[in-house]
Amino acid sequence: MSAELTADRATADRTTVDRTTADRTTADRTTADRTTADRTTADRTTADRATADRTTADRATAVRFEDVSFAYGELPVLAAVGFDLAPAEVVHLAGRSGSGKSTLLRLAHGQLRPRTGRVVVDGTPVHRAGGGALRGLRRRVAMVPQDSGLLPRLTALENVAYALRVADLRLSPGEAARRARAVLCEVGLEDRLTAMPHRLSAGQRLRVAVARAVASAPAVVLADEPTASLDPEAAAAVMGLFERLARSGAAVLLATTDGDLPGSARRRGGRVLRLDGGALVDDHGRNSTCAAG
């Protein structure tokens, strides 16, 4: 009996040890699981904060390019371009023909998608936006293309009034016509209101396109060589419109191959971005705002 009792006690002791070991193993696993969970929570919190910070930064800028690259097929056009454009800022985008200026503007307008990187315009992630978001964006972002892009069957006045009503569906035809007339007069076309596009010179068509772009007071204006075919007086009137728009809070990005325009911007303390071979090689006057008086 004594031997049997000793054996039972040994068995009981082993069982106790096994349970203790199992309990410790379970406790260790629980602690490890909690540590992993804590790390996962911390990682998620850090990621959420980074996302929130990026979202806040996106909302604070009118135009943001972040490490943007683009190519037409195998032909590289832009390489790792990055910059921010603030509200109430007029920025000149300079560079030789073929340097990627027009492509950059088309990316900002959502006409193209980057191969890599992020494009955010007026809070919209243009690089991944769908059709509905892009349509909404284009009511707030105006584009002045090189070819003016006027509707051929509408007069100068009707082109501007039509754009105004597209931007604001609540606007009456009479109010749209009144605003269109006022902005066309500002660019010196008061005697060409009823002219069809084919009856206008290249410079006059460009001024109509500028008037159409600024009439609706957009949040952002993207203009591709807006003074290319204008005489000094007309160019000054157009620049006056852009600067007035910037003073009201809009961001204006002007692409140009005109050597004098970036030079005048530098002399007045303006900001000039320079593209060369698809790369951003200069950002002169960064963080300056429109200084027009």
Q: How many CB atoms neighbour CB 187 within 10 A?
A: 22
Of the candidates 293, 268, 260, 266, the one whose C-alpha atom is nearest the C-alpha of residue 282 is 266
Chain segment 221-240, per-residue pLDDT in tens = 999 999 888 898 988 989 99
Rounded to a whole number, what is the distance in angstroms from the first to the last CA of the chain?
111
Residue 288 confidence (pLDDT): 47
Question: Distance between CA 138 and CA 116 in Å, rounded?
Answer: 22
Question: Distance between CA 163 and CA 175 in Å, rounded?
Answer: 12
Q: Tokens 């209101």 appear where?
A: 193
User: Alpha helix locations (H) across the chain?
Assistant: 2-60, 101-108, 131-138, 156-167, 173-186, 202-215, 232-247, 260-267
Confidence band of 38 (pLDDT split at 50, 70, 90): confident
Determine the Cα angle at 102 with ends 149 and 163, to 5°: 30
**Residue 214 near residue 241 (C-beta atoms within 8 A):** yes
Segment 184-213 mean pLDDT: 95
**Residue 248 near residue 292 (C-beta atoms within 8 A):** no
Task: Round the average pLDDT of the chain to a whole number and report it.
Answer: 84
Residue 169 confidence (pLDDT): 87
Question: Between residues 165 and 24, which one has the greater pLDDT?
Answer: 165
Of the candidates 21, 29, 8, 113, the one whose C-alpha atom is nearest the C-alpha of residue 65 is 113
pLDDT of 108 > 90? The answer is: yes
- Edge to edge, what strands does the sheet with 251-256 contain? 141-144, 220-224, 251-256, 90-94, 271-276, 279-284
Of the candidates 88, 111, 188, 101, the one whose C-alpha atom is nearest the C-alpha of residue 146 is 101
Question: Distance between CA 170 and CA 180 in Å, rounded?
Answer: 16
Check: pTM over 0.85? Answer yes or no: no
